[in-house]
Amino acid sequence: MQAGIVSYGAYVPRYRITPAEIGRVWGTDGEAVGQGLGVRRKSVPAPDEDTITISTEALRTALVRGGIDPQQIGAVYVGSESHPYAVKPTATVVAQAVGATPNMTAADFEFACKAGTAAIQACLGLVGAGMIRYGIAIGTDTSQGAPGDALEYSASAGGAAFVIGTEHVIARVERTLSYTTDTPDFWRREGQRYPSHGGRFTGEPAYFRHVTECARRLFEASGTSPKDYAHVVFHQPNGKFPQRVGRQLGFSEEQMRYGLVTPSIGNTYSGAALIGLANVLDHAGPGERVLLIGYGSGAGSDAFDLETTEELASFDRNHGLPVQHYLDHGVEIPYAVYAKFRGKIHMGGS
Amino acid sequence: MSVARFWRETPRRYNLAGSRCAVCGNVYFPPRAVCPSCPHHRQSIEKMLPFQLSGAGEVISYTIVHEAAEGFEMQVPYVLALVKTVEGPVLTGQVVDIEPAEVGIGLKVRATFRKLREEGKAGVIHYGYKFSPVVEEELGRRPAGPRASVPSPTGGHEQARA
């Protein structure tokens, strides 16, 4: 009985804004910024959406697709850096909203953009040890960049939920390992509304080093090389970094095709690599090997060597919407509406 | 609304927890302790079983709210609809993720989980059901077409990209 992914679901809010529109407000060539980042549009949550609602939508889809009895869920872990409460776990509301409470454990995970992959690892441990039947790992964010900051062109909203278990596994986890250091490339201090970052420092010593080192260690441990994988998914803070690291490691455009979603929806932080993985599973057939490498600032990478199983052939993907729908659709809004939706307008009062 | 009062209602607001009469089969939301449809009400006592609505339904009437209730100012104009669920009960709820002008009687909707209101910046956040249109890919047909000229909550500049 090998643990793996039993079901999955993704959700991305309806609204979109373009880099050109953001640049128009700040007096910069937003289109050029977007091209530089490899981001055509980013998703924007509605005023009544947050990490809790997005996580719930994604998980409800996953439970219906997998035919999972919510009372068989033993753990709900939500990874995010935009939990609506500083104290009061997102996971409690999400678990209640899918009918999984009360005989279960729950917690919120935080590790910049890799909190969702960290949650998958925790669930793999619990189901692998036979302590629980199903574990839920979710990665969701509704992150914001400071107005006018480079991050504002990419920080978006979305999430994906994964049911981890040992029965009817659609993608076995052959191996997972991590690479973690103390690297201050991106952070947000307690009480601060927007994050800070080290500019170019977020590149070579942070994202590229951790992703490539983690990949190299996984190849070594598994005795694999890039050619063994049908699909690869990287954390994708923009459209450019994952493509560059993919080329550096020796992956082709074809292998990266489905795993790259940021150009169409922006950087969903904890959701980014996981929505990419959901898109791969939307398109993959049985017996395909998938490499997933998350990255979280601070910094660390989690790598997963996955292989889809025969169960995927009979898996019901028809409930909920495929990731492709979210990549292709959306309602573009002007910056003023975006500012209203994201609470950037000072309304007075208390 | 007090924290305790909302908390007591979470099974309904989160999961559409209603009740079903084991005698006549009628479904109720919110849940009832006695069936009002059974000719002999007493027969249904202790036979009202928990029943969760699927959230699928159809708009049977609606209104477009321009003067927001407190806490809904950011969403004006928004749609409040009567939704007849496939199980029978009619629910009142907000319809989101659609331009108000595109809402019509007969629109197929499904329950979605949204933030209902916040008790100020420091208070508790209330969550619960709203409704969103069933999209083409799920339904195999388009939602009801535009009916009237109504301002959009997004300023009317947007275009759905197919």
Query: So what's the pLDDT on residue B146?
Result: 39
Task: Return d(Cα A256, Cα A273) in angstroms, integer.
Answer: 12
How far B46 CA sits from the closest chain A CA (Å)?
23
Phi, psi of A76 (to 5 degrees): -125, 115
How far A57 CA sits from the closest chain B CA (Å)?
7
When pLDDT is cut at 50, 70 and 90, the band that residue B121 belongs to is: confident
Question: Which of A47, A325, A350 is the closest to B137 by Cβ?
Answer: A325
Q: Which of A21, A49, A57, A81 is catalytic?
A: A81
Cβ burial, residue B11 (10 Å; 0-12/13-18/19+): middle
Q: Which of A57, A113, A214, A307 is catalytic?
A: A113
Q: Which residues contact A207 (CB under 8 A, 6 or more apart)?
A: A185, A235, A237, A241, A245, A295, A299
B39 and B63 housed in the same domain: no
B60 and B25 housed in the same domain: no
Residues of B whose CB is below 8 A from A96? 10, 14-15
Among residues A109, A99, A108, the alpha carbon closest in space to that of A73 is found at: A99
Between CA B8 and CA B12, with CA B11 as vertex, the angle to 5 degrees is: 95
CB A164 within 8 A of CB A62: no
Query: Can you read off the two tokens belonging to residue B29?
Result: 């939301």
Q: Which residue of A has its CA nearest to B127?
A: A53
On whether residue B67 sits in a domain, the answer given is yes
Among residues A234, A263, A277, A8, the alpha carbon closest in space to that of A156 is found at: A263
The verdict on a CB contact (< 8 Å) between B97 and A46 is yes
On whether residue B1 sits in a domain, the answer given is no
The verdict on a CB contact (< 8 Å) between B161 and A328 is yes
How many CB atoms lie under 10 A from the CB of residue B37?
A: 13
B101 and B72 housed in the same domain: yes
On whether residue B5 sits in a domain, the answer given is no
Query: So what's the pLDDT on residue B158?
Result: 40
Query: Can you read off the two tokens belonging to residue A8?
Result: 């999955």
Given a cut of 70, whether residue B103 has pLDDT beyond it is yes
Among residues A336, A310, A304, the alpha carbon closest in space to that of A139 is found at: A304
Among residues B157, B136, B151, the alpha carbon closest in space to that of A328 is found at: B136
Among residues B149, B162, B146, the alpha carbon closest in space to that of B98 is found at: B146
The verdict on a CB contact (< 8 Å) between B138 and A321 is yes
B116 and B129 housed in the same domain: yes
On whether residue B86 sits in a domain, the answer given is yes
When pLDDT is cut at 50, 70 and 90, the band that residue B140 belongs to is: very low
Domain boundaries, chain A: 4-170+323-341, 173-312
For residue range B44-56, list pLDDT tens digits in order.
999 999 999 999 9
Q: Which residues contact A231 (CB under 8 A, 6 or more apart)?
A: A255, A256, A257, A258, A259, A280, A284, A288, A289, A290, A291
The verdict on a CB contact (< 8 Å) between B154 and A330 is no
Task: Return d(Cα A158, Cα A55) in angstroms, integer.
Answer: 8
Q: Which residue of B has its CA nearest to A99?
A: B15
On whether residue B133 sits in a domain, the answer given is yes
Task: Return d(Cα A38, Cα B59) in angstroms, integer.
Answer: 41
Q: Which residues contact B59 (CB under 8 A, 6 or more apart)?
A: B81, B82, B83, B95, B103, B104, B105, B106, B107, B109, B131
Residues of B whose CB is below 8 A from A16? 161
Query: So what's the pLDDT on residue B142?
Result: 37
B48 and B105 housed in the same domain: no
B94 and B134 housed in the same domain: yes
Query: Can you read off the two tokens belonging to residue A90?
Result: 């997102």
A46 interfacial to chain B (CB closer than 8 Å): yes
Per-residue pLDDT of chain A (350 residues; tens, 9 = 90+): 699 999 999 999 999 999 999 999 999 999 999 999 999 999 999 999 999 999 999 999 999 999 999 999 999 999 999 999 999 999 999 999 999 999 999 999 999 999 999 999 999 999 999 999 999 999 999 988 899 899 999 999 999 999 999 999 999 999 999 999 999 999 999 989 999 988 888 899 999 999 999 999 999 999 999 999 999 999 999 999 999 999 999 999 999 999 999 999 999 999 999 999 999 999 999 999 999 999 999 999 999 999 999 999 999 998 899 999 999 999 999 999 999 999 999 887 65
Q: Return the residue matching tokens 């990478």.
A: A301
Using CA atoms, how far residue A338 sits from A35, A82, A174, in Å, is 21, 18, 42
Given a cut of 80, whether residue B143 has pLDDT beyond it is no
Give the pLDDT mean for B9-22: 96
Is residue A37 within a helix (H) or strand (E), and if so which, with residue range? helix A30-37
- 20-79 in chain B: CB under 8 A from chain A: 52, 74-75
Query: So what's the pLDDT on residue B135?
Result: 86
B86 and B133 housed in the same domain: yes
CB A44 within 8 A of CB A16: yes
The verdict on a CB contact (< 8 Å) between A329 and B160 is yes
Q: Give the amino acid at A177.
A: L
A96 interfacial to chain B (CB closer than 8 Å): yes
Q: Is residue A81 flagged as an active site residue?
A: yes
CB A304 within 8 A of CB A176: yes
Using CA atoms, how far residue A56 sits from A90, A99, B54, B102, B157, in Å, is 10, 11, 15, 26, 30
The verdict on a CB contact (< 8 Å) between B160 and A325 is no
For residue range B45-88, list pLDDT tens digits in order.
999 999 999 999 999 999 999 999 888 988 999 999 999 999 99
Residues of A whose CB is below 8 A from B15? 96-97, 99
B36 and B98 housed in the same domain: no
Q: Is residue A123 flagged as an active site residue?
A: no
Q: How far is CA A204 from the centre of its chain?
A: 21
Q: Which residue of B has its CA nearest to A97?
A: B14
- The percent of residues in chain B predicted with pLDDT above 70, rounded, is 84
Phi-psi region of B98 (alpha: psi -120 to 50; beta: other; left: phi over 0): beta
Number of folded domains in chain B?
A: 2
Query: Can you read off the two tokens belonging to residue A169?
Result: 């596994």
Question: Which of B52, B125, B135 is the closest to A321 by Cβ?
Answer: B135
Give one DSSP letter per residue of A292-348, joined into a string. EEEEETEEEEEEEEEEE-THHHH--TTSS--HHHHHH--EE--HHHHHHHTT-S---
The verdict on a CB contact (< 8 Å) between A53 and B137 is no
Which of A331, A332, A345 to mutate to probe the B interface, most B CBs <10 Å? A331
Query: So what's the pLDDT on residue B70?
Result: 87
Q: How many residue pairs bridge chain A and chain B with CB atoms within 8 Å of each other?
A: 79
Using CA atoms, how far residue B35 sits from A349, B27, B39, B44, B45, in Å, is 47, 9, 9, 6, 8
Give the pLDDT mean for B20-40: 95
Q: Give the amino acid at B7.
A: W
Query: Can you read off the two tokens belonging to residue A234?
Result: 């990287």
Helix axes A272-283, A115-128, angle to 10 degrees: 60
On whether residue B159 sits in a domain, the answer given is no
How many CB atoms lie under 10 A from the CB of residue B105?
A: 13
Three-state DSSP at A266 gives: coil
Q: Which pTM value belongs to this model? A: 0.95
How far B29 CA sits from the closest chain A CA (Å)?
17
Q: Is residue A83 flagged as an active site residue?
A: no
Residues of B whose CB is below 8 A from A99? 15, 52
CATH domain A173-312 topology: Peroxisomal Thiolase; Chain A, domain 1 (3.40.47)
Query: So what's the pLDDT on residue B138?
Result: 65
Q: Give the amino acid at A87.
A: V
On whether residue B157 sits in a domain, the answer given is no
Q: Which residue of B has its CA nearest to A338?
A: B154
Q: What is the ipTM of this complex?
A: 0.95
B107 and B127 housed in the same domain: yes
A53 interfacial to chain B (CB closer than 8 Å): yes
Residues of the domain holding B39: 17-52
B62 and B95 housed in the same domain: yes
How far A139 CA sits from the closest chain B CA (Å)?
17
Query: So what's the pLDDT on residue B100?
Result: 96
The verdict on a CB contact (< 8 Å) between A332 and B113 is no
Q: Any idea how long chain B is?
A: 162
B69 and B124 housed in the same domain: yes
Instruction: Identify the CATH number of the domain defined by range A4-170+323-341.
Output: 3.40.47.10
How far A175 CA sits from the closest chain B CA (Å)?
35
The verdict on a CB contact (< 8 Å) between B115 and A50 is yes
B90 and B29 housed in the same domain: no
Which of A42, A48, A55 to mutate to probe the B interface, most B CBs <10 Å? A48
